[in-house]
Structure formats: C-alpha cells, structure tokens
Amino acid sequence: MPVSKEYLVKRLILLILVVLGVLFITFIITRIVPARPELLWAGPHATIEQIDKARKQLHLDKPIYIQFILYLQDFFQGNWGVSWRTRSPVLVDVMSSLTATLELIIIAFAFALIIGVPLGVFAAIKKYTWIDDLVKIITVVGASIPVFWLALIIQLVFGTWLGMLPSAKRVDEWVVIVTGFRQITGFYLIDSLIQGNYMVFIDSLKHIILPAMVLASYPFCLSARMTRAMMMEVLTEQHVRSLTAWGLPQRIILFKYSLKNTLAPVIASIGLSFGYTIIGAFMVELVFVWPGIGFYAAMALLSFDYPAVIGCVLIVAIFYCVINTLVDVIHSALDPRVKL
C-alpha cells in the first residue's frame, strides 16, 4: 500500500485551505446575524455600562475585518476563544463534546456494517427473489426517512410506550454518583471497562442503543445496497465462475474471494457518507438529549454564542477531511489498483 509523501502533503494543504475557508465563511455569517451576544456575556441583570464594557471585551465595537484579524491571531496560537455561554475555553468544550459524538457514531457504523454487509451479500445470493425485493424496499425506505422523524418514532415506541430502553441522555446520573465513575478517555463504554465498572457500562450501553440505531439507518441502507450491487457484479466475473467450476464451497468463494473485492468500494462510499452522518448526529443528539457536539452546537446557536459555533463548525470540517483521507488510504490498502 504505497502512500506517497506528495499525496499526504497535498491533502494537508487542502485541509488548511478548507479550514481557513470554513473559518472565514462561518465568522462572517455569525457576525451579520442580527443579535446582541454581549447581553449573554454581561448577564441577565447587567447595566448599560456593563453591556458596553462587554462589547469592548468581545471586540464587537470594532469593524468585522478587525474582529476577524484578531480572531485569526488567537486561532493560530491555539486559542479558539471562550464560550460566551459556558465561560469555558471553546476548544475544551468542543473536545469534551466530541468524544460523546464519536462514541455514538462508531457504535452506529458498527451496527450498519455488521448488519448491512451480510444482508447485502445474502440479497446478492438470492437475487431477483422475494428476499432480494424485500431488502431493496427496506433499504430504499430506510435511506429516505428523515433522521429526526425516525428518532422521534423510535424514542416514542421503544422508550416511552414499551419502556424497553432509556430514551434520553448518555447515562443516569445516580449510577455515576453511586459507582464513583470518572472519565478517562471520554468514551463511557471504554472508561467503564477500564475501571471495571460494569454497572455504568451496562447503563451506558442501554442509553446508546436507540440513538445509535437511528443514526445507523442511512449507512446501513447504503452499505447493504452497495454490497448487493458490487457482489452481484463480482459474482459474474470470470475468476469467480472458474472457482465455482473447480468445485470450491460457496462460502469460501463468497467470503474469501468475492467479498474482498466488494469491500473496497463499500468502505469508500460509507466513508464519504460520514459527513451526512455527522449532520444526522446533530438531530439525533437533540432528540435524545445526547451531550455531544451536535447538542452543544444547538445550544450555542440558540444563545448566539459565536465562538462556540465557529469551534463546532471547524472541528467538524477538520474531522470530515481527516476521515476522507483515511478512507482513501483504506481503499488503497484493500484495492492494489488504487495508487495514492
């Protein structure tokens, strides 16, 4: 899997350009929105003098281009500003919220691949039968349903009506207090296993199932349809028909020879859908009150917390670019015809 230095340098330059472009656009948009964020910084019972002082502290009394230059100076020094709502450094808030979102997305993608890929293989084997038609209907309908609507329905049915699983938050506070759970990596499932705290692990697992199922709907449908299409194409190639003629068992032909050629484009398409999944995570986190970056960004938008909004957009843009690069590298590893 040769990955050239020129490719990595090119992707790094593109990443810097994307970040600067996103930073500029987001900064301008947040500044032209009619609002008075200095009221948030000064407090609900601030006097006129305190509000004017807050405007000067936040540089809101200066022209937009001066504000942008000042922000760039702090940004390149590693200072993303202070949240006007939480009074904490934006980078600290964003990174602490990002771990919750990443845990949710990782579990969702695990659901999607573990169920979607075998289902796509099974549909390809049973092509043009009622099973294949059923899989196509499920995947088309599943990919077409809005994520926020599906989240509300899942929450209502499994969380409220049936009471099978928790319908909100990441973990019950009383479980954390009683067991003395503490964060290490920010991933509750991993941290609870490290500490041997199985009560928090089970509770966290229960809380993550519903939002992960909702978030997995689109990548699951995409992986199933892509696997079915690619598997049907691979099964018609000459080398597969030769293996069949030689009398090799079908399971070996499918999972040792055919699936390897199928996985490369499937993983590439799944990786490219990561951006859509992040947007879906924002809506899912709002419905399930999941304390991730989507929920944090929503609260920042509602309170006109400009530094927090810019920080959320920047971290999503950086993460999206990094994921796309990793997908290209993985694609190159699985398919020797792809050279980077």
What percentage of the chain reaches a pLDDT higher than 90? 18
DSSP 8-class letter at 278: H
Instruction: Give pLDDT, residue 337.
Output: 66
What does the pLDDT look like over 261-287, one tens digit per residue?
777 777 777 777 776 777 778 889 999
Per-residue model confidence as pLDDT tens digits over 47-77:
788 888 888 877 788 888 888 888 888 888 8
Q: Indicate the domain borders of the chain.
A: 18-79, 96-291
Q: Using only C-alpha atoms, what is the Rg of the chain?
A: 24
Domain 96-291, CATH homologous superfamily name and number: MetI-like (1.10.3720.10)
Please provide the size of the chain in residues.
340
Q: Is pLDDT above 90 for 205?
A: yes
Does the pLDDT at position 336 exceed 70?
no
Q: Residue 335: its pLDDT value, please? A: 65
Q: Is the pLDDT of residue 295 over 70?
A: yes
Cβ-based burial of 242 (10 A; exposed 0-12, middle 13-18, buried ≥19): exposed
Three-state SS at 89: strand
CA distance 97 to 103: 10
As a whole number of angstroms, the distance between CA 165 and CA 203 comes to: 10
Residue labelled with tokens 């290490």:
184
- Residue 274 DSSP symbol: H
